[in-house]
A and B are shown apart, each in its own frame.
Chain A
Amino acid sequence: DTAVSQTPKYLVTQMGNDKSIKCEQNLGHDTMYWYKQDSKKFLKIMFSYNNKELIINETVPNRFSPKSPDKAHLNLHINSLELGDSAVYFCASSQEWTRGYNEQFFGPGTRLTVL
């Protein structure tokens, strides 16, 4: 009955590789997000999709490409991985985009380590 799930939980890879992280929510929400949490625990939004449409694209290298095949899924593909990409990536969802007071539900996170 997991609300927001992510796979894999851990990802260890070499510099220069390409990897993907998958996210699924079963809450029926319209909006999904990707966050990056660095080693100092600082959380920053990367992308947001509302009904499969990109609505937030923060200053993120274009090596990062989100894809939303349907409103229940938001995947993150990363090309040419760099050491600085090592972080915990969280997926989240909320009911809708425009209210401002909706709770966001977070997945368990994917710890990416680039060697």
Chain B
Amino acid sequence: AQSVTQLGSHVSVSEGALVLLRCNYSSSVPPYLFWYVQYPNQGLQLLLKYTSAATLVKGINGFEAEFKKSETSFHLTKPSAHMRDAAEYFCAVTLYNTDKLIFGTGTRLQVFP
């Protein structure tokens, strides 16, 4: 069965620093992988998704993620953090042949001035 693990429930960076949020997946079939962001008191919004077309996926707000099959990883990065990036980030995988999302436990990103 598919699953994702997010390493680090909290990540703190300074404004302008690199953001790296880690996600590892488990899947017996080629997975579809997603990163969603949840700003305070809001619903979730898709940042980017991997659908097997290209291993480096670019998303909104300057985020990108690289699918690495050898490492079973799909880490999210952004070269330079902004204060507005402070939010909860969720990695997710869909159950094979369905749109059922299985979420990781989330990583809270804090950005300090």
Which residues 5-63 in A have Cβ within 8 Å of B in the complex?
Answer: 31, 40-45, 48, 56
B106 contacts A90, CB within 8 Å?
Answer: no
Interface-side segment among B12-20, B40-48, B62-70, B74-82 = B40-48
B96 contacts A4, CB within 8 Å?
Answer: no
New A-B pairs, 11, CB < 8 Å, besides A43-B44, A108-B42: A41-B38, A48-B99, A92-B43, A94-B99, A98-B97, A98-B98, A99-B99, A100-B97, A100-B98, A101-B49, A109-B42
A103 contacts B46, CB within 8 Å?
Answer: yes
In Å, the complex CA distance between A73 and B41 comes to: 23
Which A residues are in CB contact (< 8 Å) with B42?
A: 108-109
Choose among A44, A90, A97, A108 the residue that contacts B99 (Cβ–Cβ < 8 A): A97
In Å, the complex CA distance between A94 and B92 comes to: 15
Interface residue SS majority, chain A: loop
A96: interface (CB < 8 Å)? yes
B101: interface (CB < 8 Å)? yes
Q: Which of A's residues lie within 8 Å of B, judged by CB? A: 4, 31, 40-45, 48, 56, 90, 92, 94, 96-104, 106-109
B49 contacts A103, CB within 8 Å?
Answer: yes
In Å, the complex CA distance between A41 and B36 comes to: 13
A97 contacts B44, CB within 8 Å?
Answer: no
A48 contacts B44, CB within 8 Å?
Answer: no
A104 contacts B46, CB within 8 Å?
Answer: yes
Which B residues are in CB contact (< 8 Å) with A99?
A: 99
Which A residues are in CB contact (< 8 Å) with B101?
A: 45, 104
- How far in angstroms is the closest Cβ of chain B from A110? 10
A43 contacts B99, CB within 8 Å?
Answer: no
23 pairs from A and B in contact (CB 8 Å cutoff):
A4-B43, A31-B99, A40-B105, A41-B38, A42-B106, A45-B101, A48-B100, A56-B100, A94-B99, A96-B99, A98-B97, A98-B98, A98-B99, A99-B99, A101-B49, A101-B51, A104-B44, A104-B46, A104-B99, A106-B36, A107-B43, A108-B42, A109-B43
Closest to A3 in B: B43
Closest to A43 in B: B103
